[in-house]
Structure 1
Amino acid sequence: MTSTPAATGWTATGLRWRDGLPRLTASAGARVLEREVTAGTRIGWTVLGPRRCVGVRTAHRHHPCPLAAELEPSGKAGQCPSCQDADQGLALARDQILDDGRTYRLYLAWFGPGLAKVGLTAEQRGTARLVEQAALAWTFVARGSLPGIRRAELTVAQSGLARERFTSRAKVGGWWRLPAPDERAAAVHELRARVLRVLAGHGVELFPADPVTDQVALFGLTAGPPAAYREITALGPGATLGGTLHAPIGRHLFVTPDQADAPPLLLDTRLLIGWSLRPTPLASCTGLAEQLRARPVEQAALF
């Protein structure tokens, strides 16, 4: 990003993964800037308001909100109702698009024990959706047209083998309970075998031997998350955030503040969407709504 994005109207639009790298994005009108935010990146931001709708991103360009609509300061939705209605990605998620002519893939994503998700992604997007969702392990199961893959997705969800959605809180909670890599792979392999039996004769092209991809090391979670950290729950005008980034986990960022003995902070970058961010050298962490999170205590079995 430029050195003074707020002064020129740059507004944070989120964190996206492209070419295997996480990039914080910002826009000014139809122009889009990106900054890599890999492990070790130094940040220093002051949040400036008001918070405004970021418009709609298509495959070819960014379309600013024609109303420059003001948003509620809290929350993770970065679009006004009109821009949400024009967003093809949201329309697809809401089953408002029956077929767009593209080829889709059905995937299984694993976020921890008991947290198996089934979903679909356009084949042209490659593996970006699995990284953005912070899937700890995943595999592709089938490919086909949107109607066929959507029916397969519903069939798997209705079988009870995997769910269509998990909250961000549930995914983050899964970081505390990671089994060994071979156990993670075995869980996904077993799940895929059961899903393939459910989808036999379903009319889509199945992948009976697709590999399992493990992303725990990519997200810096080999040893799990910090034993204790403070989760940022809201931002507001004048808030400041500074420190050193850990490896991004999907759209989440762990930040180690510069203050001595300060615990790491966890930021869902969707909270940034719609705010202007002014670069602030050596920024402390102030004006943030936070909640303490700590590793759950294992309860000893009674019998």
Structure 2
Amino acid sequence: MEWRVRGIGWGGGAPGLRWRGGRVSALVYGQRLAFRVVGVRRCPGARGNPCPLDAVVPGRATGGRCPECARLDRAHSVAADTIADDPQPYRVYLAWFGPGMTKVGITAEARGDARLLEQGAVAFSWLGRGPLMAARRTEEVLRQALGVPDRVAYERKRAARHALPPAGDRAREVEELYRRARAVGGWTETLDPLEFAAHDHVGVFGLDGLPRLDGTVAELVDGGVVAGRLLAAAGPDLHLLAPDGRCLALDTRLMGGWVLEPAGEESAFTVPVVPRTGVDSAAQEGLF
């Protein structure tokens, strides 16, 4: 049986590796992962559909899709501002990824906090709810008024997880952003404000006691091995304790489209790694 991975998912509020064909391998903190990369990386498709070209994609591409499938995925993306007539209610959120790293975003109310888990938000609060276009306008107004970016670089998110302040400090920073957002005039005329409540994902992500980050996987390559104990998962990232004692991060967006095979218990970690410089920048039920 060929196991071609699609990436990580957060179904039911827990991480799992998704495979072509719909299978999901649950990821459990403390478990040992050991797999070998095989062959060439091929586009995993988009919106649940296989790539019609079965195209080869570069190893370092975090998107992991061919141009045609990337366009299809973007054509159905609220985040890409390509949908304007979705009738379901949306929520505006305030997300915190680390000290000084916050953003404003929107998500469909029916998705709950799935979008926050996918982005690796360590803490967040809801701000308001209402129609899509009103939520989108509020998002843009608040970005400008509060001086927050529309996205936070994954490299910065990753490094921040290894030296988080106490839960109370995290909540206070989110609350301060909430207070400033409520003071911005106009948006409450089109959205229903929601009371402040700090939500924290440290436990869900397994970030308590995470050791210093030593490096990040640069890419997967044919014959390369990833091996180690799973310490944490946040957004698309897996934080692993390698056999040689290094704490390494693997962005699972680099995994999409590769075939993986189990590796031996004593396997070494052999895929290319970028060392951290200190500057933030059916028969078979499962593979593991």
Q: TM-score, normalised by structure 1?
A: 0.86
- Is the Cα–Cα contact under 8 Å of residues 239 and 248 in structure 2 kept in the other structure? yes
Q: Matched residues in 1 for 2:256 and 2:275: separation?
A: 23
Aligned: 1:254 with 2:252:
no
Distance apart, 1:280 and its partner CA? 1.9
**Structure 2 equivalent of residue 273 of structure 1:** 256
Distance apart, 1:175 and its partner CA? 2.5
Deviations 1:50-72 (CA, angstroms, capped at 9, x unpaired) = 11111113xxxx21111111111
**Structure 2 equivalent of residue 172 of structure 1:** 158
SS at match of 2:178: helix
Q: Matched residues in 1 for 2:270 and 2:80: separation?
A: 35
Deviates more, 1:167-176 or 1:104-113: 167-176
Q: 2:267 is aligned with what amino acid?
A: S
Q: 1:249 is aligned with what amino acid?
A: A
Q: 1:16 to 1:89 in 2, by over 3 A?
A: farther
Distance apart, 1:90 and its partner CA? 5.7
Q: Matched residues in 2 for 1:180 and 1:278: separation?
A: 39
Q: 2:62 is aligned with what amino acid?
A: K
Distance apart, 1:113 and its partner CA? 1.6
**Structure 2 equivalent of residue 47 of structure 1:** 37
SS at match of 1:87: helix
Q: 1:107 aligned to 54, 74, 93, which one?
A: 93
- Is the Cα–Cα contact under 8 Å of residues 257 and 284 in structure 1 kept in the other structure? no
Distance apart, 1:23 and its partner CA? 0.6
**Structure 1 equivalent of residue 274 of structure 2:** 291
Q: Matched residues in 2 for 1:283 and 1:18: separation?
A: 31
Q: 1:283 to 1:68 in 2, by over 3 A?
A: farther
Q: Matched residues in 2 for 1:232 and 1:64: separation?
A: 26
Uncovered stretches (5+) of structure 2, i.e. residues with no partner: 280-288
Deviations 1:79-120 (CA, angstroms, capped at 9, x unpaired) = 111112222576322212212222111100001121111111
SS at match of 1:270: helix
Q: 2:191 aligned to 198, 204, 208, which one?
A: 204
- Is the Cα–Cα contact under 8 Å of residues 212 and 247 in structure 2 kept in the other structure? no
Q: 2:109 aligned to 123, 135, 149, which one?
A: 123
Q: Matched residues in 1 for 2:39 and 2:113: separation?
A: 34
- Is the Cα–Cα contact under 8 Å of residues 227 and 269 in structure 2 kept in the other structure? no
Q: 2:34 is aligned with what amino acid?
A: G
Uncovered stretches (5+) of structure 1, i.e. residues with no partner: 1-7, 297-303
Q: Matched residues in 2 for 1:275 and 1:204: separation?
A: 43
Q: 1:277 to 1:199 in 2, by over 3 A?
A: farther
Q: 1:173 to 1:90 in 2, by over 3 A?
A: farther
SS at match of 2:175: helix
SS at match of 2:42: coil
Q: TM-score, normalised by structure 2?
A: 0.90
**Structure 1 equivalent of residue 282 of structure 2:** none
**Structure 2 equivalent of residue 263 of structure 1:** 246
Q: Matched residues in 1 for 2:263 and 2:250: separation?
A: 18
**Structure 2 equivalent of residue 213 of structure 1:** 199
Aligned: 1:239 with 2:224:
yes
Aligned: 1:70 with 2:63:
no
Report sequence identity in percent.
Answer: 36
- Is the Cα–Cα contact under 8 Å of residues 242 and 269 in structure 2 kept in the other structure? no
Q: 2:263 is aligned with what amino acid?
A: T
**Structure 2 equivalent of residue 230 of structure 1:** 215
Distance apart, 1:176 and its partner CA? 4.6
SS at match of 2:173: helix
SS at match of 1:63: coil
Q: 1:206 is aligned with what amino acid?
A: P
- Is the Cα–Cα contact under 8 Å of residues 141 and 192 in structure 1 kept in the other structure? yes
Q: Matched residues in 2 for 1:176 and 1:240: separation?
A: 24
Q: 1:155 to 1:251 in 2, by over 3 A?
A: same
Q: Matched residues in 2 for 1:175 and 1:14: separation?
A: 21
**Structure 1 equivalent of residue 130 of structure 2:** 144
